[in-house]
Every structure is written in structure tokens, then in C-alpha cells.
Amino acid sequence: MLNFSDRLIESIKKKNSVLIAGIDTSIENIPDYFIKRFYDKEKSEIDNLKTILFEYNRRIIDAVEENVVGVKFQAAFFEQYSYHGFEVLHKLCEYAKNKKLVVIFDGKRNDISSSAKGYSNAYLGETPVFGKKIRFFEFDAITTNPYLGQDGIKPFVEDCERFKKGLFVLVKTSNPSSADFQDLMIEDKYLFELVAEKVYEWGKNCIGKEGYSDVGAVVGATQPEAAKRIREILPNSFFLVPGIGVQGGKVEDLKYFVDNNNMGIIVNSSRDIIYAYKNYVHSDFEKSSYLASKSIKESINAAIS
């Protein structure tokens, strides 16, 4: 089996795209006409929730698959619906995998020792059950928080090596208050630079045939100056870049994120795609999401070519 980074590169070349669709859907933002179409008064609120959440997101995936290399499921938007949301997440993960899309779990998980291993078992690897190993989710990659240091990252890295999966470690995030900690100076370096150095170390044994590490970094699109510094530290790592559009990141700044080969990034867009119907004259959310993803893909390609 190919390394995660190699599979990602194959998908990028096949689709001529580095765009990732972020699936951050809440029921209250789904069009009323769609809810009315699927809402069944004979069923419980929970059953209607599961049906509508799955059917809307399934159609988003269908609409954008031509223009994206993958989808990123933000855990919070499923966890808010308790285990019912995770039931839908499981179905959507399988659905996206069957579409041959790269599937990322954005849960920013971390803990230490056996707790971190439990998270990694769940989303990257296999969980021991009665003497057997069961794979509960089929995600290709996961986002992690490095705050606990190597103890919290090591189980994920080991499963990346074993199962050819990917890891995106938070390095410099797109939110304004990221500066509270990430921009602290320690001797002559920013904290985010020290984290990037650790990411480089953690990924040295997960190098694919194309020369890229399976351990990458989350670098927000609102942070082009930081991206330049991080790229110097991580010349052969993929950046997962959220924050274009609604969060204020500019597509034209993506040239500061790519590597010397104009590669090394995947760019997430969520609300501008999944709620694109709000910005288009017609109310067909599937057509709106298709047009939005096509436009974003083309603008990104123009910026980094």
C-alpha cells in the first residue's frame, strides 16, 4: 500500500486540484425546502436528524467530488448530536471512501500514552476486541494537537507508519488569538517554529516514494508570513491550510505556502462550499456547491501555478 503522502499526490494530479471540502454542517443551516422534503412526521426527531444530516452531506459530496481531492469532517459538527451524529459520520466516511476521496478526521485529538493510543486506534488504526482487531473508521488522516509533546504524538505516528495513514499537527492556526501562545518567543524562535521542528522529527520515518512525509502541519491561510518560516523548516511536508474565504485568508497568499515544486499543500474550504446556496441566485444547493467548489479550485490553481 502506498504511503498517505503518495496517495494524496496521486489524487492531486488526477483531479488537478488541492481543494478539500470541509463538512461542517449544522441542521439549522440546511435549506428549509430540503428539510421539508425528508422530514417524516411519523419518525422521531432523532431519526429525522440522522436522515437529513446524512442526505444533505451525501449530496454535497456528490456535487463537489469532481473538484476536490478529499473531504474533511469537523468532529464538533457531529459530536454536537451525540452518538447519533457519529453514526452519521461513520456512514459519510464510508460513502466518501467509496468515492475514492481522501478522507480527513478533523478532531484535533491528543492525550498521553494509552489515551492517545485509543484515539489513534479509533481513527487511524485498529482496536483490539476479544482477541481480534477491528477497524471502526476508514479515515486517511487526522488532525492532532501537539501541546502534550511526543508522548501524545507518538501513538499516532506509529500508526501512520504501520497503516500508511496521515497526520496533520497544529502548528500555526488561522484564528486571531493563535498569537496568544503560538507567537511566543523562546530564545530567538517563535513557539510555532519549535513545533514545526518537532513535526519534522516526528515525520522522518514516514517518507513516501515521492519524498514527502506523512506527518504534515496545519497552517492557517491567514498566516502567510508564518507559512514562509514554517516552509523553511518543513520543505517536504504537506500543509493542511484552512481559513480561506470566510475566515479572511486570501487565495493569492497561498504562493507562500507551497514548496519549491508548487506542491505541498491541500486547502480546506467549508462554509463557502457547503452553504454556497446562500450566495447564489438560484436555490439549488447542489448546483451552488458544485459551482463554488469549481471556482475555488480554479482560483487556487491560478494562485499557485
Distances (CA, A) of 272 to 68, 290, 294: 14, 11, 11
Q: Which residues, other chains included, contact 121 with Cβ-Cβ below 8 Å and sequence gap of 6+?
A: 127, 128, 159
- Range name among 84-88, 111-115, 131-135, 296-300 with the lowest pLDDT average: 111-115
Overall average pLDDT of the 288-298 stretch:
97
The band of 247, judged by pLDDT with boundaries at 50, 70 and 90, is confident
| C-alpha grid cell, residue 47 | 431519526
pLDDT in tens, 149-173: 999 999 999 999 999 999 999 999 9
**pTM > 0.95:** yes
CA–CA gap between residue 173 and residue 219 (Å, rounded): 5
List alpha helices for the chain, DSSP H: 4-15, 32-38, 45-64, 76-79, 82-98, 113-123, 150-163, 179-182, 191-202, 224-233, 271-274, 285-304
Mean pLDDT of the chain: 96
| Per-residue pLDDT at 282 | 65
| C-alpha grid cell, residue 56 | 444533505
Phi-psi region of 44 (alpha: psi -120 to 50; beta: other; left: phi over 0): beta
| C-alpha grid cell, residue 291 | 459551482
Q: Does domain 4-304 have CATH number 3.40.50.720?
A: no
Pairing outcome for strands 213-219 and 166-172: parallel
Catalytic residue ranges: 108
| Per-residue pLDDT at 79 | 97
Percent share of the chain, pLDDT over 70:
99
The band of 245, judged by pLDDT with boundaries at 50, 70 and 90, is confident
List alpha helices for 130-266, DSSP H: 150-163, 179-182, 191-202, 224-233
pLDDT in tens, 177-221: 999 999 999 999 999 999 999 999 999 999 999 999 999 999 999
Whether the pLDDT of residue 286 is over 80: the answer is: yes
* Domain-wise residue ranges, the chain: 4-304
Which residue pairs, CB below 8 angstroms and at least 24 apart, start in 124-129? 124/156, 124/159, 124/160, 124/163, 124/165, 125/159, 125/162, 125/163, 125/165, 126/163
Whether the pLDDT of residue 81 is over 80: the answer is: yes
